[in-house]
Chains A and B, each alone.
Chain A
Amino acid sequence: MQFEVLARCKTTRARVCRMKLAHGVTMLPTFMPVATQAAIKGLTAEQVDSLGVSLLLNNTYHLNLRPGLQVLNEAGGAHKFQGWQRNLLTDSGGFQLVSLSKFTTITEEGALFSSPFTGEPTMLTPEESILIQHTIGADIIMQLDDVVSSLTVGPRVEEAMERSVRWLDRCIARHEASGKTTTQNLFAIIQGGLDPVLRDKCLDEMTKRKDGVAGYAIGGLSGGEEKDIFWKIIKQCAEKLPEDRPRYSMGIGFAEDLLVCVALGVDMADCVFPTRTARFGVALTHGGPINLRLSKHAVDLNPIDPDCPCPTCKDGTSRAILHHTVTHETSAAHALTLHNITFQAQVMGRARTAIMEGTFPEYLLSFFKQYFGDNGYPEWCVNALRTVGVDLLREGGKVISGSGAKWEYAED
């Protein structure tokens, strides 16, 4: 990996970086769409590529089950299997093991679970996870970490953090022994729950291992914790992580979350939200999400957003025809998925431009104003951005507590 910081915001901790991997350059900050099963819902690799997406996420747990490593090996890796010619990231599979399998037990050796196919006890060790990710062949691979829910408290959190550090060592060792360090880049995952002391300890330990680590992810968040705790952990981690490594915030996808994280120093994020919500008829716009299932869109002949560069809007696809087909025809889901992925890319792209041009604080102000408008700003966003020198309320405005505004998708 070649990693270079191109510009820094003079007010916030936001930055623009150039990350060169085996399948080309990805400009940061960026949002990664999630292609869990080696496909973005309903789209082809070429369509996703055309949207200006240069980094995609595959899930190791799923690909290991289907199509399985033998097929991926025969195909020459996940890039070739799915026809994706740009950069790819895989997770370690650990998170899905814990969230999808009830019977997973964690031992020092690894995660013990019952095979979904045979029911036989199966062990996923840090070494095994790296081995699987080597076969998949993603440009960025993640360490196996000991995942606990962000709502877990007590000694289990510390144990998980410490084990994640030990597992990182094993992942580094396995990765370096493989000779794949030039084409595949290992990221560490910062754990420690919602406890700043544990996070600090983890940061200290993991940054010590910087030589074996190409980048850092901030894990164990976005699991239902208070937003005011969420951003504080992000801020703490981003501040302490080395300048010359990309920082990846896992599972973040709402526009306001993305921009707050970027302002706090995050470079990468991923989430299923924009593609999942598309299937339920929700289009993301700079004026907030809109639900095309609502009857008010039935005779609206305007596109979702006349200024949007996505194929759906550029073609003038009306809200009316989307309303007519949404939830009935897969093609409506495709149209909204194309739009939503473009929207996410646009939010992050505009951040890159603003940071390069030294206008990132103004971008934050104008984005939040347009996005939340009269609905009011989420209090946690106001709080978070204040700590990096941006006051969303500079020109007044309403504040609402809790996680944020009620969008159209919450109405029915």
Chain B
Amino acid sequence: MAMTTTGTVNEMIMSSVFTLTTPLSRRFGPRLGQLLSKRSGTPDQVIETPSFVTSTSRGVVPHLSRDHHRATKAIRWANVPFETFLEHNPPVPTLLTGANPMHNFLGFVPGQHLLSLCIRDPADGREMPPNGNKHTSAYCLRGVRKVSPENWRTYVEACQPDMVVAMYDQPFTDPPYSQKRLTKSIERTSAWLADLLLSLQSSQSSRHRPLVLVQMAGGTNIAARKAFSTNLTDILYGKEADAIAPLTCLDEGVFGYTFDLVPLRQSLDPTTPDSPTPTADPTLPDPVPSDVSTQSCVQTTQLIPFIQASLSSLPTTKIRVTHTARSPHEILRLIQDVGIDIFDAHWAQKAADVGVALDFQFPVPKHGATTRRNGKRDLGHNLYHSQYTHDLCWMASSFSKERPCTCLACSPFSPATRIEHSIVDHDSQDPIASNTQKPSFSRAYIHHLLHTHEMSAHSLLTMHNLTILDEFFSGIRSVLSTAEGKSFFVEVDRFVDEYDETLEVFDEARLLWREVDLARGKGRLAREKSKQTQSTLGTAIQG
């Protein structure tokens, strides 16, 4: 059942595999799998699927120092949009030498963190200048930059990520797109994929060859999506075949398929906000921070036919990735009805930005207190709310009343070692505990940190939310593995019945975030303000 991505081609260099343990004959429906990632000189890494990839901003996991992102076991795979590095030419990460250059530059550990590169931030749906036959437009602080297929393969070769999303033609001009535009998009994406595959194969210098993911083109046109998939599996002849030999078709060189949901949502509902334009006038009050994914009214069921169309003719064996699913409900439906293997953590990380501590579980442990008018339970706690002022409990109670969650916020440890700065310092450490578990940080403490604009709140919330998300996926896998997936459908229904999908608690948190920000008064730079309002991750640095 195991299959290497490209048969004979990649075996010599690396043999990372994605293996499904559920029947391959099932094209759509929940699947269990295992991604075994190999990288020369580092231990093998195993990621059980369904699972998630952690989003980064400017190359780092927002709010986490390196010791924190390493201690957060939930972070197994980080996706790095490369575009911010285009501010410098040549991009600084391409100047690095030695093994694992991009991992080292960003502080990720090969063997512990799978690192994938893409060009654009999948959460950023802002309008962009049109792409060309030989370039895609990317965005960085210094403005729009053109990236050519040649640029992209040079960057990838220099950075040596574990995985790369081939350059693709995603229009970010005003939707809807014409048939002609979509045809062009398909042609370009295919050509650019071929270009990357060719260069990766002919590259002798690189000891390491990244796995290639392809973004599924075709927009919201079912026929176009199907045509793109057919393109991938068509056996090539003549000059085209020579160009990618020994591959016989593009799909042979592809490790998996990726689906960015932001452009799909924008296409289906043109009122979906894109990344808002930064407030030009710093004296104006901040707009409430928005989020492309949560504010769209596009339902998951509307997205599914397009994803299915892409997958209808492709091998079922390859890994399937989506970006910016907006809720656990959407994740569950995409697992149930499509069989998506990897999601990003964008929504959970964004929750940490606005002060929401996640507190939910799959399968639903028992019926809990309902807090919404619609009779549903919240997915988390808006820790800005005054109800938490005196709440000395740990963040997640639905998880377990007896045991806190395992993140460093809920299960902190006293340091294993402390830096000694002088020859008499050992004396000062004598009776102090080392490497022992400490009490959890309380909701009241984080409530206090949020209201006093302390950045530590977001560090604690990020570690916690990623860990809760990890538990969620672990729960999904255990339900899928125990009962052949039969009870999974029942559990999905129970989950949807139990937890509020309208994410009202997020909206309330955003409003309180705004209030606290206004109370804080003037004195913040417009740039910092705009950072807070963007759909991309992170909050402004507090001056």
Task: Please list the residues of chain A having a beta carbon within 8 angstroms of any beta carbon in chain B.
Answer: 6, 16, 18, 24-27, 37-47, 49-52, 54, 62, 66-67, 70-71, 74-75, 80-83, 85-86, 279-280, 298-299, 301, 309-312, 315-318, 320-321, 324-325, 327-335, 338, 342, 345-346, 348-353, 356-357
B60 at the interface (CB under 8 A from A): yes
A329, B538: Cβ atoms under 8 Å?
A: yes
A82, B459: Cβ atoms under 8 Å?
A: no
A42, B441: Cβ atoms under 8 Å?
A: no
14 inter-chain pairs at a CB distance below 8 angstroms, sorted by A residue, are A27-B425, A44-B408, A46-B414, A47-B65, A49-B414, A50-B418, A50-B419, A67-B445, A85-B433, A298-B92, A321-B60, A329-B538, A334-B63, A350-B422
Among B141-197, those with CB < 8 Å from A are: 141
Residues of B within 8 A of A328 (CB): 57-58, 141, 531, 538, 541
Residues of B within 8 A of A83 (CB): 412, 438-439, 441, 445
- In chain B, what residue has the closest Cβ to A331? B60
Q: In the assembly, what is the distance between CA of A243 and CA of B453, in Å?
A: 41
Q: In the assembly, what is the distance between CA of A346 and CA of B425, in Å?
A: 11
Residue of A70, A325, A352 with most partner-chain B CB within 10 A: A325
Among B56-105, those with CB < 8 Å from A are: 57-68, 84-85, 87-88, 92, 95-96, 104-105
- Min CB distance B40 to A, Å, is 21
B449 at the interface (CB under 8 A from A): yes
- Min CB distance A207 to B, Å, is 27
- Min CB distance B141 to A, Å, is 8
Residues of A within 8 A of B107 (CB): 315, 317, 321
The 0/1 profile, CB within 8 Å of A marked 1, for residues 395-419 of chain B is: 0000000000000110011110111
New A-B pairs, 14, CB < 8 Å, besides A39-B452, A82-B445, A299-B95: A26-B428, A37-B452, A43-B65, A46-B414, A66-B452, A70-B390, A83-B439, A85-B432, A321-B92, A328-B58, A329-B58, A330-B458, A342-B419, A356-B423
Also in contact, A39 and B449, with CB within 8 A (given A74-B392, A315-B66, A330-B538): yes
Residues of B within 8 A of A39 (CB): 449, 452, 454, 456
Q: In the assembly, what is the distance between CA of A334 and CA of B444, in Å?
A: 23
B2 at the interface (CB under 8 A from A): no
B47 at the interface (CB under 8 A from A): no
Q: In the assembly, what is the distance between CA of A351 and CA of B421, in Å?
A: 9
> Within the complex, which residue of A45, A333, A353 is in contact with B541, where a contact is CB–CB below 8 Å?
A333
Residues of A within 8 A of B459 (CB): 42-44, 330, 334
A16, B424: Cβ atoms under 8 Å?
A: yes
A51, B419: Cβ atoms under 8 Å?
A: yes
Main secondary structure of the interface of B (DSSP, over half): loop
- Min CB distance A39 to B, Å, is 4
B456, A353: Cβ atoms under 8 Å?
A: no
Q: In the assembly, what is the distance between CA of A406 and CA of B49, in Å?
A: 55
B428, A75: Cβ atoms under 8 Å?
A: no
> Within the complex, which residue of A316, A345, A353 is in contact with B104, where a contact is CB–CB below 8 Å?
A316
Residues of B within 8 A of A351 (CB): 422
Residues of B within 8 A of A321 (CB): 59-60, 92, 105-107
- In chain B, what residue has the closest Cβ to A75? B392
B539 at the interface (CB under 8 A from A): yes
Q: In the assembly, what is the distance between CA of A51 and CA of B195, in Å?
A: 49
Q: In the assembly, what is the distance between CA of A44 and CA of B409, in Å?
A: 9
Residues of B within 8 A of A356 (CB): 422-424
A67, B389: Cβ atoms under 8 Å?
A: yes
Minimum-distance CB pairs A-B, first 4: A349-B421, A50-B415, A352-B422, A42-B455
- Min CB distance A49 to B, Å, is 5
